[in-house]
Each structure stands twice: as C-alpha cells, then as structure tokens.
Chain A
Amino acid sequence: MRRTVTFLTTAAAALFAAQSAVAQTAPTQPHMPAWDTAFSLGMITNSAKDEGDESDRSSIHAEARFDVGHYWTQHLKMEAGVSFLNRWDEFDFEIIPVPGSRGGGYSYTTRTMRMTTVTPMFTYQFFENQFVHPYLSAGARVGFHETHFARSPQIYTQEGFTYGGSAIDRTETTVVVRPVLAAGCKSYFNEHVFVRSEGQTLFDRRGNPFVSLRAGVGIDF
C-alpha cells in the first residue's frame, strides 16, 4: 500500500513537472481576430454579352466594394463582397418599317444600366501572424443587372414620310453567375488595420477571362 502511494506520488510529481516544463517552453498562442472587413475601389472588366449587349467586347466599370470575411482557421477564410458599379448608358438603334419608304425609318432606345454584384469566395491565406499575407481565392460572382429601357414618343420626318415611335419605359433585371479566381495581398499598418490589393479574373460562358483590379483598406476584428 505504502509502495503504491509512493509510486502514485512520484508519478504525479513527474507529470506536474513535465507539464510545467511544457508550459515554460511552448509559445503562447495569440488570440487572432476571426473577422475582417474591407472597403475598396477599383475597376472591373465584364463581358458586354453578360450585360445584354450582342458584341463580344469587354466593358469597363468603376467599382466600390464592401467585403466581410470570417476566418475558420488562420489560413482558411470564407468571405462575401458586395460591389456597386457606376451607372452607364447604351443606345440601341432600330430600323422600323415605314409605309412608302424603301429604307424604313429608325428609332433609338436608351438603355440605362446599373450592376450590383455579390461575390462569395473561399480564400486561402499564406503565413501566420505576419505583416504581409498573400492569398488566393475562388468563388462566384453573382451579377444583378438592372436595365431601364426608355424611349420617348417622337415624330420623325424622313424623305417626306412622317412616322413615329412608341414610348418605352420599363425595367428588367437579369442575374448572371460566373466563376472567379482572385489573388491578392493584405499588407498591415499595425495589428488590425490593413491595405488590401487584389486582382480578380472572371470567366464568361466561353471561358474568356475578364480582369478586375481593386485596392482598399480594412480592419480585422
């Protein structure tokens, strides 16, 4: 009995000593912020076809974007960004038949467009607890295209023929989802405040890439 008690006491003392030694040598894990948010400005290119145009050209827009992200680990983050793009106009000419005229008449419609995008992404961030963190992201850009079609009722006279176009005033919203890849860097001023610079590539239906660039400031919390 006495031998058992001695053995247990010795074992407990050894265990305590080992634990104490580990506590003295192992570095204390710092408390890392689990969330971050950023505001950035940039320029995005987009497929004109995705905006209702028939041409294959790229369209360029100014972008203001808010991002919120949650770190599951020090490397893995899930985030979502909401972008507001500048409003822009397009003009569509249309040939309309005019009785008596060989060439017909024409009318034009103004398309005023505005796009808002939501971009959910998964991000892998390199390094731990450093002042510079490069990262790679993959996700999808959901674009909400709001188009307002407007045409005034007008009377035209051409080659002696008078014709008129009917008025149009309607708004349509289309949703386009495209895959995106991004690479960027969080460069810190201090513990929590950082500059975020990012390049993003969207792929249209045919796989053509459209590049966007943005930079902004953010905070970990």
Chain B
Amino acid sequence: MTRSVLATILVFALAATSLGAQQPVNEEQSWRHLVTALEPAALVSVRLKDGKQVVGTVLEHSEDAVVLKPRTRIPVAARAIAFRDIDSIERKKVGWSPGAKVIFGIGVGFGALMLATLVAFAAYAD
C-alpha cells in the first residue's frame, strides 16, 4: 500500500516537472534581453515571423521594438521592428564588399592561370 502511494506521488511529481519544462517562454522578452546585451552599432540579421529578413545596424531599442538602420546599398530610413514580430536574430560581421570579393576571385583565378602557363612553359622548355 505504502509502495503504491509513493509510486503515485512520484509519477505526479515527474509529470509536474515535465509540465513545468514545457511552459512557454516569453520570446518577446527574450529578444528584448538579447538586444539589450548587444554592443552599440551591432550588425544583425533579423528574420521576421512573416518570413522577411532585415539586415541592419541596431540604433536603439524600446520596451516594444528595436530600431534598425537597414544595410542597403543606397541608404534608407531606419525602421522599428516590434519584438513580437521577430522570429530570430543573428549576429553578422562586416566583411569585404561583394565587389572586392569578386575582384579578389578574378585575381586569384588569373594568377593561377599565369602560374599554370609558366609551369607548362618551363616543362616544355626542358
């Protein structure tokens, strides 16, 4: 009898713990905490719940929204994004411009071609 009671109590206790673990997290608040922890002028990629994505610099934030300056080629106005609309936030790094990357790629390709030509020429000369 005592054993059955203990078993039942244990089952209920486990079930309660499991239920507690499944309790919904306040995501809106979590995003707010995360944005608060970012350093000034952090570059982030924000995915919205409607599937859109905005990459930009964090300018400021309030209780409800974060203000981003979108990273576009021709500058556009900053926009406020409500925390409730955010699906994910990822940090981004400012790297080379795409143009510089392409030039680098062409340079490497051309260099490799010249090297291959030189090697072939040297082999032929021998």
Contact = CB atoms under 8 A, between A and B. Distances in A.
Interface of A: 27-32, 129-132, 185, 187-191, 193-195, 197, 215
Contacts of A31: 74
Contacts of A132: 98
B98 A188 contact: yes
Interface in B86-104: 97-103
What are the 4 A-B residue pairs with the smallest beta carbon separation, nearest first? Answer: A189-B99, A187-B98, A30-B74, A187-B102
B76 A30 contact: yes
A28 B99 contact: no
Nearest to B74: A30
A140 to B, nearest CB: 27
Contacts of B97: 131, 187-190
A27 B74 contact: no
A27 B77 contact: yes
B73 interface: yes
- Range, interface on chain B: 10 to 19
Contacts of A193: 99
A32 B97 CA distance: 19
B57 to A, nearest CB: 15
Nearest to B97: A189
25 contacts: A27-B76, A28-B76, A30-B72, A30-B75, A31-B74, A32-B74, A129-B73, A129-B76, A130-B72, A130-B73, A131-B98, A131-B99, A132-B98, A185-B102, A187-B97, A187-B102, A188-B99, A190-B99, A191-B74, A195-B99, A195-B102, A195-B106, A197-B102, A197-B106, A215-B106
Interface string B14-30: 00000000000000000
A32 B100 CA distance: 22
Contacts of B106: 195, 197, 215
B103 A195 contact: yes
B74 A129 contact: yes
A55 B33 CA distance: 72
A194 B74 CA distance: 13
Nearest to A30: B74
Contacts of B103: 195
B79 interface: yes
A28 B72 contact: no
Contacts of B101: 187
Contact of A188 (B73, B76, B77, B79): B73
Count chain A CB atoms within 10 A of each CB in B73, B74, B79, B102 and give the residue with the most.
Answer: B73
Contact of A191 (B73, B77, B79, B102): B73
Nearest to A24: B80
Given A187-B99, A187-B102, A189-B100, A131 B73 contact: yes
Contacts of A189: 97, 99-100
B102 to A, nearest CB: 4
